[in-house]
């Protein structure tokens, strides 16, 4: 009977979290996002949906009042292109977490989840594509991704001090590149798996068998399918573990290998060109899952190929629908 608040519910991860909570039988859910309702990736009529700007304290108080559990997934963010070119906007997201914590203290919230990011990790440890997987201790000494990573690291500390000083049971997960259907795949905010799927589908539909890859394609990442993200998030919030923890796949691939996999799914091979002056982020990043395995006996396990097949199929259907309608879908204009 507890009231659950999902902030950023109109976004990719937030929409999937609300959907999963409903599948589990939760009926007392409040969903909040600053996007207009028609731009939400998933919206459910049996959920209390609010259109509010959570960077404002009064909006956070309106959202939090009466709630027992808060999931903070709200952020002004996107893929590497957006992050590198919009550092101030990314930093301003600090207002959301700060005001939500203040409201949570005011209204006696029991549990509070903050969605952090692998972008908090020290950049000096991510210069080699053959990176040693990042452990939770690698966030310090601090040298995170400029803008977005600093905001996440600062907000982690804010959560910690609200727990220590005011008794709010805060939890923080460092997500590693979440992907899946029902999310952004064009417009500049999409992440690498969705962008690669879109580019390969466009090449297949147009007959122009070419693809542009940002950077030299050797930079490495791990990509976590959305179902693992949602499961790990709820597991952490319910637990007694209070420190920030990696929630990410340990299956590391290069961007070139990511393209290989999607090409196999599409049944096509493309001529590749490399945009070397495009934003590409760090050279290597992978999740060390030793801690989450030790604490929970679990780690994200959905293989990249399996998750990409589902993601590719959804984006393909969306792009076919767009063609029939004569333009991009509403959600991907935002």
Domain ranges for the chain, please list them.
4-177+226-247, 192-221+251-286+304-333
CATH assignment, 192-221+251-286+304-333: 3.90.25.10
For 180-231, write each residue's pLDDT tens digit: 999 999 988 899 999 999 999 999 999 999 999 999 999 999 999 999 999 9
328 pLDDT band, cuts 50/70/90, is: low
User: Is pLDDT at 105 greater than 70 in this prediction?
Assistant: yes
| H or E stretch at 205 | helix 192-206
Asked if the domains 4-177+226-247 and 192-221+251-286+304-333 are classified in one and the same CATH topology, the answer is no
Question: Is the whole-model pTM more than 0.85?
Answer: yes
C-alpha–C-alpha distance, residues 199 and 217, integer Å: 15
Just list the catalytic residues: 148
User: Is pLDDT at 334 greater than 80 in this prediction?
Assistant: no
Residue (of 192, 195, 295, 307) closest to 249 by Cα position? 307
pLDDT of residue 235: 98
330 pLDDT band, cuts 50/70/90, is: very low
C-alpha–C-alpha distance, residues 90 and 281, integer Å: 15
The CATH class that applies to domain 4-177+226-247 reads alpha beta
Average pLDDT value for residue range 167-180: 97
Other CB atoms within a 10 A radius of the CB of residue 257 amount to 14
Burial (CB count <10 Å: 0-12, 13-18, 19+), residue 206: exposed
C-alpha–C-alpha distance, residues 258 and 68, integer Å: 40
Average pLDDT, the chain: 95
Note whether 176 and 324 are within 8 A (CB): no
């Amino acid at each position: 009977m507890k009231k659950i608040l999902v902030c950023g519910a109109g976004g990719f991860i937030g929409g999937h979290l609300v959907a999963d909570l409903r599948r589990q039988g939760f009926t007392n859910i409040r969903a909040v996002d600053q996007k207009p309702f028609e731009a939400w990736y998933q919206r459910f009529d049996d959920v209390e949906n609010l259109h509010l700007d959570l960077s404002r304290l009064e909006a956070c108080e309106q959202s939090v009042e009466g709630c027992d559990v808060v999931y903070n997934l709200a952020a002004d963010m996107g893929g590497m292109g957006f992050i590198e070119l919009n550092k101030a906007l990314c930093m301003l997201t600090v207002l959301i977490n700060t005001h939500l914590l203040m409201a949570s203290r005011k209204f006696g919230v029991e549990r509070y989840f903050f969605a952090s990011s692998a972008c908090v990790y020290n950049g000096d440890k991510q210069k080699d594509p053959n990176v040693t997987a990042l452990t939770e201790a690698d966030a310090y000494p601090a040298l995170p991704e400029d803008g977005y990573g600093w905001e996440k690291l600062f907000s982690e500390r804010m959560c910690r001090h609200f727990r220590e000083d005011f008794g709010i049971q805060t939890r923080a997960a460092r997500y590693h590149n979440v992907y899946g259907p029902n999310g952004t795949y064009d417009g500049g905010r999409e992440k690498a798996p969705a962008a690669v799927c879109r580019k390969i589908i466009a090449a297949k539909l147009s007959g122009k068998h070419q693809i542009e890859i940002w950077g030299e394609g050797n930079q490495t990442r791990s990509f976590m399918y959305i179902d693992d993200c949602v499961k790990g998030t709820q597991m952490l919030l319910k637990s007694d573990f209070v420190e920030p923890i990696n929630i990410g796949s340990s299956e590391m691939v290069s961007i070139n290998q990511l393209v290989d996999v999607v090409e196999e799914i599409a049944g096509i091979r493309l001529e590749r060109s490399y945009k070397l002056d495009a934003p590409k982020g760090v050279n290597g990043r992978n999740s060390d899952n030793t801690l989450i395995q030790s604490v929970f006996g679990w780690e994200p396990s959905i293989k990249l190929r399996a998750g990409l097949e589902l993601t590719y199929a959804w984006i393909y259907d969306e792009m076919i629908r767009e063609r029939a309608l004569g333009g991009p879908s509403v959600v991907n204009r935002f």
